[in-house]
């Protein structure tokens, strides 16, 4: 019925937009004004009637997740990108925990979803961010375990020391053959 009333008044030049709005106080009503079809809705934020495309200033802003911005900025630097590649090469692009078949390893030679993990996080000690002794390559599964503390830091540091000793002796870490 309200839509019919609006159709009746749509050609009347004496009709004002506020009159049309008062006739269309229905959720999702159509409004004809100067030959333009507009969809009107009641705003859930301020209670007024707006065009469907109108962005209400009272609509709350979406909150973005707050990340450790210092760590995020560090990971964007060229120094980190170069160091990350160096550590991956040092560890032969393999998860160092999977090689040793520790902590629920399902595949001994995991080379998918490899990332470089800071044993001591950047938020705790920025000076160790680019230190080889603080970095290790882990698969996504073991990275989550290390982040949650299920793999102790001391264990990860032993693995890194073992890896550097094997590199000094020109051997492959984890007792693998040199064909890897």
pLDDT in tens, 115-162: 999 999 998 989 999 999 999 999 999 999 999 999 999 999 999 999
Q: Is residue 78 part of a domain?
A: yes
The answer to whether 101 and 108 have CB atoms below 8 angstroms apart is: yes
Is residue 59 included in any domain, yes or no? no
Residues 9 and 95 in one domain: no
- Regarding predicted confidence, which is higher, 30 or 141? 141
How many other C-beta atoms lie within 10 A of the C-beta of residue 44?
A: 9
Query: pTM of the prediction?
Result: 0.57
- Residue 30: the pLDDT is 55
SS3 72: helix
Verify that 106 and 170 share a domain, yes or no.
Answer: yes
| DSSP for residue 174 | G
- Tell me, yes or no, whether 63 lies in a domain: no
Residue 95 falls inside a structural domain: yes
Residues 16 and 85 in one domain: no
CA distance 166 to 132: 14
SS3 content of the chain, % helix, strand, coil (to 5): 40, 15, 45
**H helices within 16-152, ranges in order?**
17-23, 69-75, 78-90, 96-99, 140-148
Judge whether 29 and 2 are in contact, CB under 8 Å.
yes
Looking at residue 172, its pLDDT comes to 57
How many alpha carbons lie under 13 Å from residue 177 in its C-beta half-sphere? 1
pLDDT value of residue 117? 96
More confident residue, 6 or 35: 35
Would you say residue 60 lies in a domain?
no
47 and 73 fall within a common domain: no
Tally of domains in the chain? 2
Quickly state the pLDDT bin for 7 (edges 50, 70, 90): very low
Same domain, 44 and 106: no
> Looking at the structure, do residues 14 and 95 belong to the same domain, yes or no?
no
Identify whether 13 is part of a domain: yes
Residues 146 and 104 in one domain: yes
d(CA 66, CA 71): 12
Which tops the pLDDT comparison, 28 or 140? Answer: 140
Instruction: Specify if 61 maps to a domain.
Output: no
- pLDDT of 176 higher than 60: no
Place of tokens 């030959």: 35
In a domain? residue 14: yes
50-to-9, 24, 34, 45, 114 alpha-carbon distances in Å:
20, 11, 17, 11, 50
Read off the pLDDT of residues 43-95 as tens digits, 9 standing for 90 and up. 988 999 888 888 899 988 887 666 667 888 898 899 999 999 999 999 999 99
Tell me, yes or no, whether 80 and 155 share the same domain.
Answer: yes
- The CA distance from 159 to 21, in Å, is 72
CA distance 121 to 70: 11
Secondary structure element (H or E) that encloses residue 30, with its range: strand 29-33
Q: Which of 1-15, 23-37, 96-110, 141-155 has the lowest mean pLDDT?
A: 1-15
Residues 43 and 86 in one domain: no
pLDDT score recorded for residue 70: 81
Domain boundaries, position 138: 69-175
Rg (CA), the chain: 31
């Amino acid at each position: 019925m309200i839509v019919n009333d609006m159709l009746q008044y749509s050609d009347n030049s004496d009709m004002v937009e506020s009159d049309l709005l008062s006739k269309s106080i229905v959720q999702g009503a159509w409004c004809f004004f100067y030959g333009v079809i507009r969809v009107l809705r009641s705003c859930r934020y301020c209670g007024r009637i707006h065009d469907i495309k109108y962005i209400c200033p009272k609509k709350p802003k979406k909150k973005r997740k707050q990340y450790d911005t210092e760590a995020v900025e560090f990971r964007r630097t060229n120094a980190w990108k170069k160091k990350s590649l160096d550590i991956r090469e040092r560890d032969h692009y393999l998860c160092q925990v999977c090689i040793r078949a520790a902590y629920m390893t399902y595949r001994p030679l995991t080379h998918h979803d490899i990332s470089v993990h800071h044993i001591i996080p950047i938020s705790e000690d920025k000076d160790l961010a680019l230190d080889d002794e603080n970095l290790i390559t882990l698969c996504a599964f073991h990275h989550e375990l290390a982040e949650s503390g299920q793999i102790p830091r001391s264990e990860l540091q032993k693995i890194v020391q073992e890896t550097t000793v094997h590199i000094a002796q020109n051997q492959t870490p984890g007792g693998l053959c040199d064909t890897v």
